[in-house]
Amino acid sequence: MSILINKDTRVLVHGITGREGMFHSSQMLEYGTNVVAGVTPGKGGEWVLGGKVPVFDTAKRAVETTGANCSVLFVPARFSEDAMLEAADAGVDLIICITEGIPVQSMMRVTRYLSQIGTRLVGPNCPGLLSPGESKVGIIPGHITKPGHVGVVSRSGTLTYEVLYALLQHGMGVSTCVGIGGDPVIGTSFTDVLALFEDDPQTESVVLIGEIGGIDEELAAEYVSDHMTKKVVGFIAGRSAPPGKRMGHAGAIVEGGTGLAKDKVEALERAGVAVAANPEEIPDLID
């Protein structure tokens, strides 16, 4: 089995009539994802993608009509807070926010509310999820991996793609790939995903892709040491990043002596995680 999404996941796309929403919805449909509805206020009643997907004015109406249980957001940052709250109030179990540039205060409000009602958020500023052969929700290319037994969890989008392709080149497939996002405030953490992989019978080993900034990787190392029975392989991006300079993600910044790459590597190695020097080494470390 996979984690979080599978062939039965019914996907609602916020912003489906926009350029990004339309393109990636088309890619998801082509992969086999069960995209059942879209939401764009003012465009309810339209059908898109060759008449395959109905558009609704509100998430509530979309969920009531189609039974959608997962929302993915391709909406501008200024509308994302309201869209996530609307999706949660509509009753979806899983929200995946691709959008970047959402203010930290907005995300603090969203994560606090979602934790109160029990809705899971992945992201923001993430590539989404991919369960090869089952479903893809987001922007991860489906052709760079195949079904298998390696779980992947990552803060980085492009590094995720590189690792998936490296695994494929070595004949290794993936159970589920989860891009948790690189912002300072996110919905689902490394430890959350590690717990899901630990309980997933299809996942035999896990790849954790971290980067400088914050302490999420150190917390993940503690979880691995205390709870994981499955092999975990790691990679930390940004080892050469100068202190005080943000490298790509909003959360990838070293300040006040915390968030250093060497500290993350050392914490993971103390927990028994084999840490690769570059992404191409990961398949060999899994063997």
Which regions of 25-73 does DSSP assign to beta strands (E)?
34-39, 47-48, 53-56, 70-73
Q: Look up 24 and say whether it is catalytic.
A: no
Average pLDDT over residues 165-188: 97
Domains and CATH numbers, the chain: 10-122 (3.40.50.720), 141-286 (3.40.50.261)
277, pLDDT greater than 80: yes
229-271 pLDDT, tens per residue? 999 999 999 766 565 555 555 554 555 455 789 999 999 999 9
Higher pLDDT residue, 209 or 287?
Answer: 209
Phi-psi region of 123 (alpha: psi -120 to 50; beta: other; left: phi over 0): left
| Element housing 80 (H / E) | helix 77-90
pLDDT of residue 284: 97
β-partners of residue 276 are: 235
Q: In terms of Cα–Cα distance, which of 201, 185, 211 is closest to 151?
A: 201
Residue 53 half-sphere exposure toward CB, CA atoms < 13 A:
28
Tally of CB atoms within 10 A around 78? 12
Q: Which amino acid is at 271?
A: A
Torsion angle of the four alpha carbons 106, 126, 3, 228, in this order, in degrees rounded to the nearest 10: -90
CA distance linking residue 286 with residue 265, whole number of Å? 17
pLDDT of residue 259: 79
26-45 pLDDT, tens per residue? 999 999 999 999 999 999 99
pLDDT mean across residues, the chain: 94
48-74 pLDDT, tens per residue? 999 999 999 999 999 999 999 999 999
Q: In terms of Cα–Cα distance, which of 158, 150, 96, 101 is closest to 128?
A: 96
pLDDT of residue 198: 98
pLDDT of residue 270: 97
| Percent of the chain whose predicted confidence (pLDDT) is above 70 | 93
194, pLDDT greater than 60: yes
Average pLDDT over residues 119-137: 98
Put simply, whether the predicted model's pTM sits higher than 0.85 gets the answer yes
189, pLDDT greater than 60: yes
Q: How many helices and strands in the chain, by DSSP H and E?
A: 9, 14
- Judge contact between 116 and 92, C-beta under 8 A: no
CA distance linking residue 168 with residue 148, whole number of Å? 10
Tally of CB atoms within 10 A around 268? 25
Catalytic residue among 14, 24, 143, 249: 249
97-117 pLDDT, tens per residue? 999 999 999 999 999 999 999
